[in-house]
Amino acid sequence: MIRLENIEKVYRTDTVETLAINGINLHVQKGEFLSIMGPSGCGKSTLLNIMGLLDEPSRGQIKIDNQDISRYSDKQMANFRNEKLGFIFQSYHLINDLQVLDNVELPLLYRNSSSQSRRALATAALEKVGLSNRTKHFPTQLSGGQRQRVAIARAIVGQPQIILADEPTGNLDSAMGNEIMDILINLNKNEGTTIVMVTHDESMAQKTHRLVRLFDGSQVQ
């Protein structure tokens, strides 16, 4: 599903050059639930961003669904992200000026869909994460766990084949974290969604199919 070949990422600022990713080869199978672990600053988020086409590697190739992404235009990349990928972030990244339902609908606005079908899909997604009773709330009126569930609903509303989650439980207590984890596991099991998750929590990582450990930009396991 996702194939990374010899990926390197160098961040250059005026004074320093940081090698964030150093020659990573990784193949994520379709339907796999993969977790990535490693110390802070080892390049986990960078790797996830590269998989999500949010960031370009300095060297190497990414193939998703056997398509070479490097030749894509900005517009094609955007469409690709919209249709195939769903993102979940540690800090939720909800739009505070929009109600929960509107936040969840957001990805559908960037494709052709009627407002009724958007509404229906968003309502269904919120139901899946157990938040159907909070659709008219604003994100600031929700708890951290609820916000993360809204973010998950937003990630799944477009029925993507791949979900990229960067520390989705990092800001939550373990009960909340488990709840989120259950949602992801069910998604993977029932819908066959491929999931790549960055986590700091060993017990969460144990629940996934495969664990990849990074150290200083390289894969160690």
Partner 1 sequence: MFKHLYKLMWNKRKQNFLLLSEILVSFLVIFALFSFLVYYFQNYQKPKGLDYERVWTVSYDNRQVSKQLDSARLFYDDLERSLKAMPQIREVAYTSANFPYSQSVMNTNVSLGDKVINSVNRYVSGIDYHKVLQMNLTEGRWFYPEDAAAAIKPIVINETLKAEAFGKQSAVGRLFDNHDKTSRRRIVGVVQDVKVEGDYLPSGKAMYTPLDTTDIKWNSFILLKVTEAADANFEGKLYKYLGQRFNNERVEITYMKDLRTAKNEVTLIPMIIFMIVAGFLIINVALGLFGVLWYNINRRRSEIGLRRAIGASSTSVSGQLVSESLILATLSIIVGCFFALQFPLLHVFDVAANVYLYAILLTVLFIYLLVIACSVYPGKQAAAIHPATALHEE
Binding to ligand ATP in span 79-138, by CB under 6 A: none
Binding residue for partner 1, selected from 70, 110, 120, 174, defined by CB under 8 A: 110
In the complex, what is the shortest distance from the CB of residue 118 to partner 1, in angstroms, rounded to a whole number?
A: 9
CB atoms within 10 A of CB 172: 20
Stretch 16-55: interaction string toward Mg ion, x if CB under 5 A:
-----------------------------x----------
Of the pair 45, 193, the CB lying nearest Mg ion is at 45
Q: How far is the C-alpha of 216 from the C-alpha of 41, rounded, in Å?
A: 7
CB-facing half-sphere around the CA of 69: CA atoms within 13 A? 26
Which burial class, exposed, middle or buried, applies to 211 when counting CB atoms under 10 A from its CB (0-12, 13-18, 19+)? middle
Longest alpha-carbon distance in the chain? 52
Binding to ligand ATP in span 31-60, by CB under 6 A: 38, 40-46
Q: How far is the C-alpha of 25 from the C-alpha of 63, rounded, in Å?
A: 12
Tell me the residue type at 21: I
Binding residue for partner 1, selected from 38, 43, 107, 139, defined by CB under 8 A: 107
Q: How far is the C-alpha of 18 from the C-alpha of 108, rounded, in Å?
A: 36
Which chain residues interact with partner 1 by CB under 8 A? 45-46, 49, 52, 54-55, 74-75, 77-79, 81-83, 87, 89, 91, 93, 95, 97-99, 102, 105-107, 109-111, 115, 154, 158
Which chain residues interact with Mg ion by CB under 5 A? 45
Which chain residues interact with ligand ATP by CB under 6 A? 11, 13, 18, 20, 38, 40-46
